[in-house]
A = this chain, B = another copy of it.
Amino acid sequence: YDYDGPSMKTSVPGPRSQALTKQLGEIQNNLPFKPEMDSVTLVRSTSSVTMRRAEGTTWWTWTTTACWMSTLRSRPSQLSTLVNRPALGILPPENFPDKLTESLLSVSPSGMTRVQTMACGSCSNENAYKAMFIWYRNKERGHNMPSDEDVSTCMINKAPGCPDLSILSFNGGFHGRTMGCLATTHSKAIHKLDVPSFDWPMAPFPRLQYPLEEFTRENAQEEARCLEETEDVIVKWRQKGNPVAGIVIEPIQAEGGDNHASPDFFKGLRNIARKHGCAFHVDEVQTGGGATGKYWAHEHWGMDDPADIVSFSKKLLTGGYYHKDELQADKPYRIFNTWMGDPSKNLLLAEVLNVIRRENLLEEVTRSGKALLNGLYDLQAQYPGILSRARGQGTFCAIDICDDATRNSILLKARDKGVLLGGCGDRSIRFRPALIFKEYHVHIFLNIFNDVLAEH
C-alpha cells in the first residue's frame, strides 16, 4: 500500500497555528482550542484517514466522523438542502420522509420504528428525558388529561405540574451539558461545578477487571453488586417522594474512562427498569454509528427489546432518539423546538451509510479493532510499568496509563509524531479512529505508539 500515515512539516505549534490561535482568542472563549489545530480539511480517499492542516502537515486524527462525502460535490441539486434551514417541526421539506427512511430508519434499533430528530446530543437526551417524564406522569394518572392544578402549578415551576420525578444515572456517566443532561452526568467535576442541579439518584457503574475473559467470576460479582445497589436507590428515591421515571446509561461509558459492562449486566438492568416501572434509555451518542463493529453498541447484548429509548448524535451527524410507540408524546408541541435537527445532516448521513455498506466498514472495523486490541495487549505486556487495562469493542478501545503526567507526555509525543490521541477518565487514552481505519493503519499506529512508549 501507499504510505498514508502522518507527515510533519513544522514543529508544533507551527507559525500559522499560533497566529490563528491568537486571532480566535481575541474573539471567543478559545481555551480548549489546541494550538496545533489550525485548519480542518478531512480527506477522504480509498486509503486515507488524515487531516491536512494549514502548515502542510498531514495529521492522523482519531475523532472524526465516518468519512468525507466527496460524492456531494457532484450533486448541485442537493445544494438547496445545504443552504436552506427549515423549521423541521412545522415545515419539513418534501424529501424529508424519504431521507429519514434512507438514513436513520434504515438502522433502527430492534423494536423501534419511530425516530425523533434533534440537533445535538444534549437536546436529544433532554427531550428523551422529557418524553419519559410525560410517559410516567400519564401512567400515574391512568390517562393523559392534566388536572387544573397541574396546569396552574407548572406555570410557576411547582409540583404537581412540574412533578418531583427523577432520572437515575450512573457514576462515571456522561450525557451532556445542558442542565437536565448535566444532572445525569458524573464524569468530571469541571462539567458540573457551580451549576445548580436536581436531586436525582446516581448508582454505581461496574468497575470491571480486564481482559474480561480472565476475570469472569470477579466481574460477575461486581455487576451483581451494582444491580443490587441500583435497585436500592430506586426504592429509596420512591420512598422520599422523587420516584425514578427513567434510567439512562451508556453501553460503554466513554467520557468516564471507557468502562465496559457485560450483556448480563444490561439485561439485569433492563429487568429492574421493567419491574419498577421506569423507562430504560440507552444513550448511544458516543457508541452509535459503527465504531464497536455493530451499528449500535447495544446490539452486542443480543436482546430483542433492548430499550424504550435510544439516543444518538456525533457519528450520525444529526442528533435524535428512537423510541417505542408508548413513549410518543400525547400532544403536539410537547416535544418540540425550532429546528428539530437539520435535514442537510440526514443527507450526509444517507451518504455515509452508503459508504459503510458498500465498503463493508463494520467488518473492517471488527477486523482492525481486533488487531488494535491485540497490539495493545502486546504493548501492555512489554511496558507493564506504563500500560494496563487495555480494553475495547471494535475500534472503540482504550488503555490506562500509570499516571496523569505520563499520559500527557505520551499524548504530546504522539502529537509530535503526527498522531492526535485523546484522553478519557482519570488516566486513560481512548482510541476513536474513523470507520475507514484499516488493519494496515493499525500497524502504522502501533509502530509509532511503540516509539513513543520507548521514550518513557
A82 contact from B83, B96, B151, B332, Cβ within 8 A: B83
A266-318: which have CB < 8 Å to B?
313-314, 317
Give me 20 other A-B pairs in contact (C-beta within 8 A), A122-B178, A138-B194 excluded: A27-B114, A29-B114, A31-B331, A40-B86, A40-B91, A54-B94, A72-B83, A73-B76, A82-B83, A119-B119, A120-B120, A122-B126, A146-B193, A154-B197, A156-B186, A157-B183, A157-B192, A165-B196, A177-B336, A196-B198
| A190 within 8 A of partner (CB) | yes
Interface residue stretch chosen among A61-69, A220-228, A407-415: A61-69
For the complex, what is the distance from the CA of A42 to the CA of B20, rounded to whole Å?
36
Residues on the B chain within 8 Å of A114, using CB: 27-29
Residues on the B chain within 8 Å of A348, using CB: 83, 85
| A232 within 8 A of partner (CB) | no
A196 contact from B152, B163, B202, B345, Cβ within 8 A: B163
| A215 within 8 A of partner (CB) | no
Residues on the B chain within 8 Å of A197, using CB: 154, 157-158, 162
Q: Is A33 a contact partner of B339 (Cβ separation < 8 A)?
A: no
For the complex, what is the distance from the CA of A232 to the CA of B1, rounded to whole Å?
74
Interface residue stretch chosen among A97-105, A390-398, A435-443: A97-105
Q: Is A154 a contact partner of B121 (Cβ separation < 8 A)?
A: no
A3-29: which have CB < 8 Å to B?
20, 23-24, 26-29
Assuming the A-B contacts A82-B344, A157-B199, are A178 and B180 also in contact, with contact meaning beta carbons closer than 8 angstroms in the complex? yes
| A90 within 8 A of partner (CB) | yes
Q: Is B180 a contact partner of A28 (Cβ separation < 8 A)?
A: no
Q: Is B33 a contact partner of A90 (Cβ separation < 8 A)?
A: yes
Q: Is B97 a contact partner of A20 (Cβ separation < 8 A)?
A: yes
Interface residues on A, range: 35 or more
| A41 within 8 A of partner (CB) | yes
| A231 within 8 A of partner (CB) | no
Task: Give 5 closest A-B pairs by Cβ, nearest first.
Answer: A179-B180, A39-B94, A31-B332, A162-B197, A157-B197
Assuming the A-B contacts A73-B76, A114-B28, A178-B179, are A68 and B83 also in contact, with contact meaning beta carbons closer than 8 angstroms in the complex? yes
Residues on the B chain within 8 Å of A89, using CB: 32-33
Interface residue stretch chosen among A127-135, A204-212, A359-367: A127-135
Assuming the A-B contacts A32-B332, A83-B69, A162-B195, are A93 and B154 also in contact, with contact meaning beta carbons closer than 8 angstroms in the complex? no
